Each structure stands twice: as structure tokens, then as C-alpha cells.
Amino acid sequence: MPVPLLDLKAQYRELKPELDAAILDVMENAAFIGGPRVAAFEAAIADYCGTAHAVACGNGTDALFLIMAALGIGKGDEVITTPFTFFATVEAIAHTGATPVFVDIEPGTYNMDVSKLAGAITERTKAIMPVHIFGQCVDMDPVLSLAEERGLFVVEDACQAIGATYNGKRAGSIGHAAAFSFFPSKNLGCAGDGGAVTTDDPELAARVRKLAQHGTTKKYFHDTFGTNSRLDAIQAAILLVKLPHLDRWNAERRAAAAVYDGLLVDLPGLALPEMRSFGDAVYHLYIVKTESPDAAEAVMAALKDAGIGTALYYPLALHEQAVFAGRSDYAAPSLAVAESCDGSTFALPCFPGIAREQQDEVVRVVKGVLA
Ligand SMILES: *Cc1c(COP(=O)(O)O)cnc(C)c1O
């Protein structure tokens, strides 16, 4: 029985009439840039996250970059983040001219180890960028109190965590601002690229909006250099159809994760994702870890032979990537927990609507290698 890592076709089939109608309506009205759908989506996403403002933009990478640019972060500044994230987090920091500074992660949750944050702060630090990896929030209270004490911004990379909660607050409403991605495979995905910034700060929202439209608030008059980063009206229309289903989809992901937890708990040689009690995770990915890269390779090969989708997340920690080698502003740190994940952490299929029989099949194949 083949099991995809994620079933986007099933998600389309579920909502096909509404999605098709929404897309055709944009075509009929030929309002492709800006307009009521984008404004309505911004309002809906702010409401969903519990923030005063949301600004739609081209993708999650831009969302991160626009926040930092709007905060005035640039050359000579440092931004503290995690080495265990999608490359875009760090790319966005680097493109402002700032230097990324990595702190190690915790085993089990793979989130930033907040107990190591204070030691990474220097007089150049401007912001902390926690990444709610795989859909579980970082322990934000210590991050917020440290940031307040040291006068730092907190920018959440919430690209994998839409709908996740932390002490009753939704991801994206905890720091000064947050970035979301609507890349098709994210928990709320459009039919292409899309992103958004959420914040309670009206001035920050206005600066992000201005930078996303060529540094202008009045057409053809510019007092700063911005860029072009917009959410297409078609994507906004699609996201407006999907958003009301997000909580149910996330609940289905949690239920599927609980099934794996129950079936794999006693399997030697396989570490299951650990969950903190401060909120609900949304299982963007269900990540397991073997004791060695060789064991991961064996399990993944068996999964692939059985037609089951899997992939390493992430094959190589970011502080070890070639792009940083030889950079004069960057001394490669030694981050033991992140390095222990290299080649050893991978995803099992865990998506809304996955059937119990599909999960049984995944478990059978994993156990066939490790049990
Ligand atoms: C997907 C993702 C991004 C980037 O989003 P794009 O929309 O692909 O630009 C950034 N950070 C994390 C953690 C992500 O998962």
C-alpha cells in the first residue's frame, strides 16, 4: 500500500467545488493584485492568530526578511536563531546584512534550547528568532523575558506552526512579529508561494507593508528602497477557502501522531517526537530519530521500497553548511545536539486524512527494520 508523505491531491478533492469557484471568481473579476480577497485574507489571518495586524506577502522567506528590514536590522547586527530549521530562516537574516548566531537545540523537540540563549547575546545582538520547528512552539516565556531585559526583538518563524498554541496564545501572536509561509506543503498551503507577517504593532505592520510594495505608501513616490513581495489574489482566494478547515486538519494531524506514538513507543532505537505541556503542536512533520545515520538510511530505504514517503529533516545542520565556511564574520560553533541529528532525523507520513491502515503499514515497515 503506497503512502505519500503528504496527500495534496486529496486536500484538493475535498474542497474542489469551493476552490474552483473561488479561483474562477478572481479570473472573472480580473483583480489579480491586491483587492478585496487579499484584504479579507489579511483580516482572517490576523483574527485566526489573535494579532491586531497581518500583512500578506510573497512567501515566508520574504516575511522574515521584511520584518527584520522593518525593524532596522542590518550590517553589524546579530540575530540569534537555531541551526535546525529550513535554510530560509538564516538566509533571511543574512540578506539583511546581519550575522546569524546559532544556539543549540533540545533533544526530543528539536526546538531552540532556550537555556543557552543568554550565553549567545552580545552587544551586537538585535533580535532573537525562535523557529517553532515541526509545528511545536518554542518555550517562549524565557525568550520573551530575556528579550525584554536585554532590549531585543523577538521574531517568530511560525512557518511550520500555524494554529499551534503556547499557554493559550497562537503561534504568531507571541513575539513582536511573526512570519508565516503558505507554501503548498505547509499546514495551510496555497497553490504556489505565499506568506504573511503578523504583529500587534501598527507601525511595524505599516513599515512591512511599505517595504513589500517598493518602499511606497503613495504610488510612484518613494522615500526608501523596498521590494516587490505580494500575495496573489488567486492565492488569497484559495487560502480563504482553506482557513476554516485548518483547525480540523491540525486535529487530524495530532490524532495521527498519537497513533504513531502508541504503536512505536516501545521500539528500541527509535526516538519519537517529545511534546511539551504548554500547548498544542500541529505536527507539520512527525519526526523520528534513529541512533545513527546508517540506521536511518536502512529504515528510509525500506520505507521507499514499500512506496512510503519519507525524507530527512534536516540532513545537515545549518551551522555546518558550506555557505558559512570561510565567512570572516562567522566562527563555526560546535552544537552537539543539532549535529547528532545529521542524517538521523526523518519524517513519517502524518497528514490530515491519513488512514489507520496506512499508518499500520508504515509501522510494519519501520518495525521490520528495527524490531
Ligand atoms: C517554509 C519555511 C520557510 C520559508 O517559507 P517559504 O514560503 O518557502 O519562503 C521559513 N522557515 C521555515 C521554518 C519554513 O518551514
Q: What is the CATH number of the domain that holds 349?
A: 3.90.1150.10
What is the reported pLDDT for 370? 96
* Same domain? 216 vs 279: no
Question: Helical H runs in 81-121?
Answer: 88-95
For the chain, state the CA radius of gyration. 21
Q: In angstroms, rounded to a whole number, what is the distance separating the alpha carbons of residues 273 and 257?
A: 9
Residue with the bigger pLDDT between 31 and 327: it is 31
Query: Does residue 2 lie in a domain region?
Result: no
For residue 34, how far is its CA from the centre of ligand 1 (angstroms)? 22
Atom nearest to 182 CA in ligand 1: 7
Per-residue pLDDT tens over the stretch 165-190: 999 999 999 999 999 999 999 999 99
* Same domain? 233 vs 258: no
What is the reported pLDDT for 1? 85
CB atoms under 10 Å from CB of 225, counted, come to 9
Q: Which of 191, 218, 244 is a domain's end point? A: 244
Query: Does residue 1 lie in a domain region?
Result: no
C-alpha cell of residue 257:
501522531
Q: What is the mean pLDDT of residues 179-205?
A: 98
* Same domain? 143 vs 62: yes
Q: What is the DSSP string of 323-359?
A: GGTT-TT-PPP--HHHHHTTTTEEEEP--TT--HHHH
> Does the pLDDT value for residue 136 go beyond 90?
yes
For residue 264, how far is its CA from the centre of ligand 1 (angstroms)? 29
Q: In angstroms, rounded to a whole number, what is the distance separating the alpha carbons of residues 237 and 199?
A: 22
Query: Does residue 57 lie in a domain region?
Result: yes
For 8-12, 158-162, 233-237, 259-263, which range has the lowest pLDDT when averaged over its residues? 8-12
* Same domain? 314 vs 364: yes
* Same domain? 138 vs 229: yes
* Same domain? 265 vs 209: no
Atom nearest to 131 CA in ligand 1: 13
C-alpha cell of residue 133:
520547528
> Does the pLDDT value for residue 331 go beyond 90?
no
Q: What is the mean pLDDT of residues 35-58?
A: 98
Residue with the bigger pLDDT between 218 and 27: it is 27
Q: Which of 244, 273, 294 is a domain's end point? A: 244
> Does the pLDDT value for residue 63 go beyond 70?
yes
Q: In angstroms, rounded to a whole number, what is the distance separating the alpha carbons of residues 259 and 221?
A: 57
Residue with the three cell numbers 478533492: 13
Mutate to test the pocket of ligand 1, among 160, 232, 282, 318 (most ligand atoms within 8 A of CB): 160
Q: What is the mean pLDDT of residues 103-114?
A: 97
Q: What is the mean pLDDT of residues 295-324?
A: 96
Q: In which band, very low, low, confident or very high, does the pLDDT at 352 lie, cut at 50, 70 and 90?
A: very high
Q: In angstroms, rounded to a whole number, what is the distance separating the alpha carbons of residues 58 and 28?
A: 23
> Which structural domain, as residue segments, surrounds residue 193?
8-101+109-244
Query: Residue of the nearest CA to atom 6 in ligand 1?
Result: 60
Q: Is the CB of 183 under 6 A from ligand 1?
A: yes
For residue 76, how far is its CA from the centre of ligand 1 (angstroms)? 25
**Domains held by the chain: number:** 2
For 102-116, 236-250, 306-320, 326-340, which range has the lowest pLDDT when averaged over its residues? 326-340
Query: Does residue 224 lie in a domain region?
Result: yes
Q: In angstroms, rounded to a whole number, what is the distance separating the alpha carbons of residues 129 and 90?
A: 9
CA atoms within 13 A on the CB side of 261: 11
Query: Does residue 147 lie in a domain region?
Result: yes
Q: In which band, very low, low, confident or very high, does the pLDDT at 289 lie, cut at 50, 70 and 90?
A: very high
Q: Could you tell me which residues come within 8 angstroms of residue 323 by beta carbon, excluding any fewer than 6 positions away?
A: none
Q: Is the CB of 273 under 6 A from ligand 1?
A: no
Q: Is the CB of 157 under 6 A from ligand 1?
A: yes
* Same domain? 195 vs 343: no
Indicate the residue type of 322: A
CB 90 within 8 A of CB 100: yes
Residue closest to 233 by CA, chosen among 190, 285, 172:
190
Query: Does residue 3 lie in a domain region?
Result: no
Query: Does residue 164 lie in a domain region?
Result: yes
Q: In angstroms, rounded to a whole number, what is the distance separating the alpha carbons of residues 294 and 306?
A: 19
> Does the pLDDT value for residue 329 go beyond 70?
no
For residue 263, how far is its CA from the centre of ligand 1 (angstroms)? 31
* Same domain? 239 vs 252: no
Q: In angstroms, rounded to a whole number, what is the distance separating the alpha carbons of residues 344 and 337?
A: 12
Q: In angstroms, rounded to a whole number, what is the distance separating the alpha carbons of residues 265 and 319?
A: 31
Mutate to test the pocket of ligand 1, among 157, 187, 287, 313 (most ligand atoms within 8 A of CB): 157
Query: Does residue 277 lie in a domain region?
Result: yes
For residue 31, how far is its CA from the centre of ligand 1 (angstroms)? 27
CA dihedral 235, 239, 240, 243 (to 10 degrees): -170
Q: Is the CB of 89 under 6 A from ligand 1?
A: yes
Q: Which of 224, 244, 264 is a domain's end point? A: 244
For residue 160, how far is its CA from the centre of ligand 1 (angstroms)? 7
Note if the pTM is more than 0.85: yes
Atom nearest to 160 CA in ligand 1: 15
* Same domain? 336 vs 258: yes
> Does the pLDDT value for residue 332 go beyond 80?
no
For residue 300, how far is its CA from the centre of ligand 1 (angstroms)? 24
Q: In angstroms, rounded to a whole number, what is the distance separating the alpha carbons of residues 238 and 243?
A: 9
Task: Give buried/exposed letters for 23-48 (b at 16+ CB in 10 A, else e).
Answer: beebeeeebeeeeebbeebbebbbeb
Q: What is the mean pLDDT of residues 76-102?
A: 97
- For 219, counting Cβ atoms within 10 Å of its Cβ (0-12 exposed, 13-18 middle, 19+ buried), the class is exposed
**Residue-averaged pLDDT of the chain:** 96
* Same domain? 178 vs 261: no
For residue 220, how far is its CA from the centre of ligand 1 (angstroms)? 31
What is the reported pLDDT for 201? 98
Q: What is the CATH number of the domain that holds 66?
A: 3.40.640.10
* Same domain? 29 vs 174: yes
* Same domain? 211 vs 230: yes
